[in-house]
Amino acid sequence: MATCFIRGIDNELENDTSRLDVHYFDPEYTNIIKELQKLSGDKMKLSPLEELLANSKTKLTGGATPKGAAYLPDGVKFVRVQNVKEFRLDLDNVVFIPKVIHETSLKRSKLKPKDVILTITGVTYGISAVVPDNIGEVT
């Protein structure tokens, strides 16, 4: 079922001509942004992801895949896009990588409890999950 909405000239986002994705202008998202702005008040600034990625102080990193992607029957858990479900990680089909890769070439991709993972590729683009406390070593 398709969803349709009309973007009026009084829309606060009207002057944003850099966006090509129609869903950015969906009133549902505009309302969510307004609610987040109300809730955050002076305590928090809402920032576009692009701005956060450009700021080295935010500690945001992009994930990586080990060259050759030779997965092992055991080792350090390696989270892939298909493991990220809405609001949770599904590790039923998790793969494993050698600890040496986890400690070297994928060092900046190490995950810690309460990290937020956001998918930026695949059909699940834009899905996020929080790394649970009991995850153990994971990349």
Encode pLDDT of 50-92 as tens digits: 777 777 676 777 777 777 767 899 999 999 999 999 889 999 9
Mean pLDDT lowest among 3-7, 43-47, 63-67: 3-7
For residue range 11-22, list pLDDT tens digits in order.
555 555 666 666
SS3 93: coil
- Find the largest Cα–Cα distance for the chain: 57
Using CA atoms, how far apart are residues 120 and 106, in angstroms rounded to an integer? 18
Lookup: tokens for 27:
């009133």
pLDDT at 58: 67
pLDDT at 6: 63
Question: Taking a C-beta distance cutoff of 8 angstroms, is the pair 116, 61 a contact?
Answer: no
**Amino acid residing at 56:** S
Lookup: tokens for 37:
């702005």
Residue 117 has pLDDT above 80, yes or no: yes
